Amino acid sequence: MKTSLILASTSPFRQQLLAKINLPFTCIAPQVDETPQKNETAEQLVRRLSIAKAKAISNIPKHTLVIGGDQVAVINGEIIGKPHHFENAFSQLSTASGKIVTFYTGLCLWNNEKNSHQVIVERFNVHFRELSDTMITNYLHAEEPYQCAGSFKSEGLGIALFSRLEGKDPNTLIGLPLISLIEMLGNEGIEVLEHMSK
């Protein structure tokens, strides 16, 4: 029987990334409380939420793989999420100016037939340039990245904010580690490039 693939997210960025690997998928919004638990580290948070989001999708066909993901940024040891509006975004980018911001991106692939999952957390370091108030304001008005952890879109003009990027997979920074996902799918018997030739 053919395996179905579900992305447990309504993020347009994750949808665009997943579309790159040419496998059909559907999107379902997971209903998960994203509030951090007491004394939870950034890595523990995104790992827990990635698993929770993947497993939150119910009433699905037996042969289904569900992708769950979550991402946070850490500046000066503090977890930051989506800014939601200009003031918060300005504050986040002002704090990030001249510093290294570490992004933690969780990825879970849940096999509902076997009731098993694979999960990883990838780190990605973003070295920010020294940013003036004018640079930050102009950037925020240009892209309005208010639903993006860290207040930027690295796939767009946000690249102008950085001096260097460090990580295994540039897709991780946008929210979906495709290299790791392809490895996970392979572990489930789905080889992306072989699938394309069928």
**In the prediction, which pLDDT does 147 show?**
87
Closest of 45, 127, 53 to residue 78, by C-alpha? 45
* Span 39-49, average pLDDT: 95
Q: 4-197: which CATH number, 3.90.950.10, 3.90.1150.200, 3.60.40.10, 3.20.20.80? A: 3.90.950.10
Residues in the chain: 198
pLDDT tens by residue, 140-160: 999 999 988 889 988 889 999
pTM metric for this prediction: 0.89
Q: Mean pLDDT score of the chain, rounded to an integer?
A: 92
Selected catalytic residue, list 33, 70, 133, 169: 70
**In the prediction, which pLDDT does 197 show?**
44
Percent of the chain with pLDDT over 90: 74
How many other C-beta atoms are found inside a 10 Å radius of the C-beta of residue 45?
Answer: 22
| 3 state SS of 1 | coil
* Span 22-31, average pLDDT: 93
Q: What contacts 53, CB < 8 A, 6 or more positions away?
A: 8, 9, 30, 32, 68, 69, 70, 108
Q: Are 137 and 114 in contact (CB under 8 A)?
A: no
Indicate whether 196 pLDDT > 70.
no
**In the prediction, which pLDDT does 2 show?**
73
**Residues forming a β-bridge with 66:** 6, 110
d(Cα 4, Cα 114) in Å, to the nearest integer?
14
To the query of whether residue 169 is one of the catalytic residues in this protein, the response is no
**In the prediction, which pLDDT does 10 show?**
86
Closest of 55, 29, 30 to residue 116, by C-alpha? 55
Which residue type, as a one-letter code, is found at position 86? F
